[in-house]
């Protein structure tokens, strides 16, 4: 291969190197801009949580505390045999050991059915007896261990609550909206339980953005931009400088020519220089 041919081959390789480098840089820049634009135009989507439960409804709830002492007319341990405790509730018809929770004024409290009741009050629509400690928490009062009642809640003895059943107990009892104790549903096996329902809960709200937070984020982004630009410039310079060094051109001159003339102008000037050498 002649000297001129070798120079021509090197020029083509050099031009190809420049073209690939600039194309890659341009593609990455366009892709980055497109990604940023998409990120700006497409806000983060929030999906609501869906959860299947056994039953959902509302009723009036009262409270009690059966410590088996007989002080409040109780008849011994709760029907389930479990000792009286926080979270143990009485139902006139749901199966024992049914699990769920109630919501009152935005406050949520879990319970399990460990006893039977209310009795006569269930004829008047009072279909749930919460334990006194849970009732106190929901109503802003305090449990009084001496009287087994609730103090400091403004005299509330009955409240309207929403209830959700998450798991039915394994025994007899009505697996649907509660009915009065006197119906005897608490002692019968339910062969037609309620169909499960799906609860849709709002997605968690994103943290509220403040001016101070936004300012800090803008400052961090601004500080990161020069570093990213320097890294990209170094990357774009590396390949042309290496190719220029092989051809005997000063790296500093190669970079200056690249920034002044652009990729295409630099390549054309390089080709002309090589042809001049070949002719000489």
Two structure tokens written together for 226: 């020069």
Query: pLDDT tens digits, residue range 155-208?
Result: 999 999 999 999 999 999 999 999 999 999 999 999 999 999 999 876 665 556
- The number of beta carbons lying within 10 Å of the beta carbon of residue 8 is 16
pTM for this one? 0.57
* Res. 210 pLDDT band, cuts 50 70 90: low
Contacts 24+ apart (CB under 8 A), 168-171: 168/54, 168/94, 168/95, 168/98, 168/193, 169/94, 169/95, 169/96, 169/97, 169/98, 169/99, 169/113, 170/95, 170/97, 171/95, 171/96, 171/97
pLDDT in tens, 196-207: 999 987 666 555
The helix (run of H) or strand (run of E) holding residue 19 is helix 3-41
pLDDT > 90? residue 232: no
User: What's the rounded mean pLDDT across residues 54-72?
Assistant: 87
């Amino acid at each position: 291969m002649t000297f001129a041919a070798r120079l021509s081959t090197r020029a083509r390789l050099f031009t190809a190197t420049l073209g690939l480098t600039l194309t890659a840089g341009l593609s990455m820049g366009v892709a980055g801009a497109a990604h940023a634009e998409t990120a700006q135009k497409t806000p983060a989507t929030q999906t609501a949580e869906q959860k299947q439960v056994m039953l959902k409804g509302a009723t009036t709830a009262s409270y009690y505390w059966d410590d088996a002492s007989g002080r409040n007319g109780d008849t011994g341990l709760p029907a389930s045999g479990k000792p009286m405790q926080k979270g143990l509730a009485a139902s006139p018809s749901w199966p024992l050991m049914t699990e769920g929770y109630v919501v009152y004024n935005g406050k949520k409290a879990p319970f399990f059915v460990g006893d039977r009741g209310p009795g006569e009050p269930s004829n008047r629509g009072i279909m749930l007896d919460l334990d006194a400690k849970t009732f106190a928490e929901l109503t802003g009062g305090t449990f009084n261990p001496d009287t087994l009642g609730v103090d400091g809640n403004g005299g509330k003895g009955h409240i309207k609550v929403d209830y959700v059943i998450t798991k039915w107990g394994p025994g007899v009892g009505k697996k649907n909206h509660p009915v009065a104790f006197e119906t005897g549903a608490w002692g019968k096996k339910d062969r037609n339980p309620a169909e499960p329902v799906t609860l849709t809960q709002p997605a968690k709200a994103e943290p509220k953005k403040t001016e101070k937070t936004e300012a800090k984020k803008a400052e961090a982004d601004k500080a990161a931009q020069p570093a990213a630009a320097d890294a990209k410039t170094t990357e774009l310079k590396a390949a042309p400088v290496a190719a220029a060094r092989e051809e005997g051109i000063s790296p500093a001159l190669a970079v200056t020519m690249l920034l002044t003339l652009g990729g295409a102008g630099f390549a054309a000037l390089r080709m002309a220089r090589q042809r001049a050498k070949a002719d000489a």
